[in-house]
A and B are shown apart, each in its own frame.
Chain A
Amino acid sequence: MRDYPGTRQTLIDIDTIPEKGKGVPVDHNKIVAENVSAFFGKVQAIRDIQISIPENSIVAIIGPSGCGKSTFLRSINRMHELVHGTRITGKILLDGEDVYSIDPVLIRKKIGMVFQKPNPFPTMSIFDNVAAGLRMGGTHDRKNIAEIVERSLQQAALWNEVKDSLSKSGVGLSGGQQQRLCIARALAVNPEVILMDEPASALDPIATAKIEELLFELKKRYTIVIVTHNMQQAARVSDYTAFFYMGELIEYDVTKKIFTAPSMKQTEDYVTGRFG
């Protein structure tokens, strides 16, 4: 097991917000993006993104539809390049190492992803869904797998609901349970970073609340980047918020500041609901 550094406080009091760059308690930048641009054919989806994502924090990416937030997220774990005719320039560093110089399979083991729509493997049981990444990654020790599956399901706050039906189909669960199953599946391969692409947008408010609660637990061990359309959600769960607009990073700061005293006009217009 890795040794996890101590957690920082989650909810920042309005009076204690540090000035940008002065007091932000950055132990270590887990991910650093330098001049990242991504293209679909000739269309440029994101332009010169510069962002640093601190370890063990939750960073929310907000912005109107088509602003490139999902594209940026998918650039981090090299999912962007899977689409035919796409291209990416710039650097994305994970612990100082360029992810584009490492095999994508290794990168995706370190950087897990949860998608907008829950997508459990339909031919597999709940257990097999969680174990899939392990088994296909070359782990075959049954006892070890069983332990990891249980731990992952517990971390995803799903264990108590499914422990008696592990051999049942994963798609038989409710939408919220399916999404937590997908989170457990991502956790099982022991990633360091988890990317979430609007993980709660297909869920009802109660399931959403569960996922959000889960995020607070998860950030003790993982670094989380979450794309969301829901500004309340960004405000509730994240430590830092990045506002994307028209493919550019407009503003990136401590979440409270983005929502109470943004320094850019566009950010203010967006978070106050004037557009988007």
Chain B
Amino acid sequence: MDNYRFHFRKFTSLFMFTLCGVSVLIALVPLVLIFYRTVAFGFSAINWDFFTQMPKPVGESGGGLANAIVGTMILVGLGSCMSLPVGIMAGIYLAEYGDNWFGQSVRFLTDVLNGIPSIVTGVVAYTVVVLPMKHFSAYAGGVALGILMIPTITRTTEEILRTVPHSLREAALALGIPRWKTSLQIVLRTAMSGVVTGILLAVARAAGETAPLLFTALNNRFWNTSMNQPMASLTVFIYNYAVSPFDDWIAQAWAGTFVLMTLILLLSLTVRLATRNKFAGNLL
């Protein structure tokens, strides 16, 4: 009887373990496929011109997406400037001071905001920025991306800060460190790597968004760094080129995809290295 039970348990354990492993593999399949396709189609279309030249008119071959690469960086930068301070501070508020009805409401609304389709934030930015200004602009695109990033940053920051042991807060407060300094210099510092992960997720998501940019930053086939003007972005170019009937445009769309992916990867690596804590081995 006992022997039978023992073998049954061992079997169950092995079965569940296998199940988990298989699930991981299944989850990896789309990732690997996307990665493979992007590298296979995108890499061959990349050359020096792609990074330095403007888009060529239809019919002319060659050219590049220099303006779109810079445009995406500017747009995501604008969105980050807007969403990072708001998101991080809101996250700190929710984690450290948010155990009241106001915090509960903010938390709920943030989750709702997180679930709103990205094109809706585009409409909001269109109404709030484009209509009063009477023209499309990079500002409008930045606002749309910023709105999109805030809830992600807020909630991940809050969740990560909540994992910081309460004993550290007490240790700091018992030293006569004021509460705001405890929140910023002890709690936030301890959870920094997790907060950075949340920020990178939000940045990556914003960099990959097309819908909110379609009628805010619009697009631009020319070199432009003025934020008051319509601005090119990789995603809108990828969208336009991918649905076009021209083979060289489609190839450039793949190249754009590859560049976008690489940019996000490089950004993640750089930020992680830069914010690494030398004692990180003992961290969350």
Which residues of A pack against B, CB within 8 Å?
Answer: 77, 79, 82, 84, 105-110, 112-113, 115, 117, 119-125, 132-133, 136-137, 169, 171-172, 182, 185-186, 189
List which B145-167 residues lie within 8 A (CB) of chain A: 165, 167
- Tell me, yes or no, whether B181 is within 8 Å of chain A by CB: yes
- Chain B 181-193 interface 0/1 with A at a Cβ cutoff of 8 Å (1 = within): 1000110011010
* Docked pose: A189 CA to B282 CA in angstroms: 26
Q: Which residue of A lies closest to B283 (CB)?
A: A122
Query: Given A82-B170, A172-B282, does the pair A123, B177 have CB atoms closer than 8 Å?
Result: no
Chain A residue contacts of B99, Cβ below 8 A:
84
Smallest distance from the beta carbon of B55 to chain A beta carbons, Å? 47
Q: Are B175 and A119 in contact, CB atoms less than 8 angstroms apart?
A: no
Within 8 Å by CB of A105, from B170, B178, B185, B192, lies B178
Chain A residue contacts of B192, Cβ below 8 A:
123
* Docked pose: A120 CA to B175 CA in angstroms: 12
Query: Can you pick out 17 interface pairs between chain A and chain B where the beta carbons lie within 8 Å of each other?
Result: A105-B178, A108-B173, A112-B175, A115-B167, A115-B171, A115-B174, A119-B165, A119-B167, A121-B168, A122-B282, A123-B189, A123-B283, A132-B177, A133-B175, A137-B177, A186-B175, A189-B175
- Tell me, yes or no, whether B84 is within 8 Å of chain A by CB: no
* Docked pose: A194 CA to B174 CA in angstroms: 10
Which residues of B pack against A, CB within 8 Å?
Answer: 99, 165, 167-168, 170-178, 181, 185-186, 189-190, 192, 277-279, 282-283
Q: Are A137 and B172 in contact, CB atoms less than 8 angstroms apart?
A: no
* Docked pose: A113 CA to B168 CA in angstroms: 13
Q: Which residue of A lies closest to B185 (CB)?
A: A136
* Docked pose: A136 CA to B178 CA in angstroms: 8
Q: Are B177 and A136 in contact, CB atoms less than 8 angstroms apart?
A: yes
Within 8 Å by CB of B175, from A122, A132, A172, lies A132
Smallest distance from the beta carbon of A134 to chain B beta carbons, Å? 9
Chain A residue contacts of B283, Cβ below 8 A:
122-123
Q: Are B282 and A185 in contact, CB atoms less than 8 angstroms apart?
A: no
Chain B residue contacts of A133, Cβ below 8 A:
175-177
Q: Are A113 and B174 in contact, CB atoms less than 8 angstroms apart?
A: yes
Chain A residue contacts of B181, Cβ below 8 A:
136
Q: Are B172 and A189 in contact, CB atoms less than 8 angstroms apart?
A: no
* Docked pose: A169 CA to B192 CA in angstroms: 16
Q: Are A117 and B167 in contact, CB atoms less than 8 angstroms apart?
A: yes
Chain B residue contacts of A106, Cβ below 8 A:
176
Q: Which residue of B lies closest to A110 (CB)?
A: B176
Chain B residue contacts of A172, Cβ below 8 A:
279, 282
Q: Are A119 and B170 in contact, CB atoms less than 8 angstroms apart?
A: yes
